Amino acid sequence: MRSLFRTIDRSDLRDAVALAAAVGVVGMSYGALAAAAGVPPAIAIGMSVIVLAGASQFLVVAVIAAGGSPIAAVLGGLLLNARHLPYGLAMSGVVADRWPGKLLGAHLLIDEVVAFARARGSGPRARGAYWVCGLALASFWLFGTVVGLLAGAAVPDPSLFGVDAAFPAALLALVMPGLKGADARRVGLAAAVIALAATPWLPPGLPVLLGMLGLLAAGGREPSEVAR
Amino acid sequence: MTWTAVLALAGGTYLLRLAGLLLRDRVTVPARVERYLDLGATALLVALLAIAALTEAGGFAGWARSAGVAVGAVLAWRRVPFVLVVVLAAASTAGLRMLGVP
């Protein structure tokens, strides 16, 4: 572990903290919403520790606020989080080599963390970036949740600061280096078109999964041939 | 009642996360399949960011957010440092909202 953190690039640390700060702001709005919805603080904080998946936590709070069924909240949340399985398939070599590392690292498999690590390849630097970004996001998410619960209605709407634009912009910046290959660009474009077309009609989570149909645009060639 | 739901969601989410990591170790896949697994992550991330950039609750997210993300896209393409991309995208959206753009 010590050798892992010795390989951390200074600029990677800075970028991870910047991303985590934005996550903290969203965590604050999650905490404030949970407080307003009458979600017990222990539940709101517990979710930020053991679920650690923003969109599904917001969904649970919304369902509780609306007096909906907990089963619907769980199923909706799991549908939102189903994309983590294919993330794991792609990230296994980056997260850790052995068991304990994989068991711990699995919990940090978060959209932004996956994108953050992938922007740094698949070697030691990517692994360090994965853990630093994951731990930073998890801590700031928890910290934001607690602050939001305490401050309640005093937390301003994060859209005032444009935080809702910060996340897609960050993901885009992180994904962009991976779009160098023509096949990746075709897959990305198709995935975006399919997901956007499906969004008005399907429950949240499903359109992102359908985006994987973008793989049909990959073509049969190996990446090396595409580069040539 | 609510704790049961939270534990079910947490357990299910963790298993989804772990399953991919462990499955990938169990099976040796040819390079061709490995390429698809890799491109699959790209597909998911791009689909996710497109939805986050342009939609809100199944409808259009509004011009302020879309324009902010577009600013971020141009900056990222010009290889502006990551922190600036994120901050300037958010600031553009915030500024547009202050001017009354939805």
CA of B72: which chain A residue's CA is closest?
Answer: A169
DSSP code at position A158: G
| Predicted complex: ipTM over 0.85 | yes
Structure-token match 């905490």, residue found: A31
d(CA B35, CA A86): 13
d(CA A27, CA A143): 8
Structure-token match 């794991």, residue found: A88
Specify the pLDDT at position A228: 38
Domain boundaries, chain A: 2-157
Specify the pLDDT at position A1: 56
Please say whether the beta carbons of A211 and B43 come within 8 A: yes
pLDDT per position as a tens digit, B62-77? 999 999 999 999 999 9
Is the per-residue pLDDT at A4 higher than 80?
A: no
d(CA B55, CA B60): 5
CA of A46: which chain B residue's CA is closest?
Answer: B6
d(CA B76, CA A216): 27
A-interface mutation test, from B2, B45, B60, B85, most A Cβ less than 10 A away: B45
Q: Considering chain A, what is the average pLDDT of its residues?
A: 92
Span A85-102, average pLDDT: 94
pLDDT per position as a tens digit, A95-136? 999 989 999 999 999 999 999 999 999 999 999 999 999 999
d(CA A205, CA A12): 29
pLDDT per position as a tens digit, A47-74? 999 999 999 999 999 998 898 899 999 9
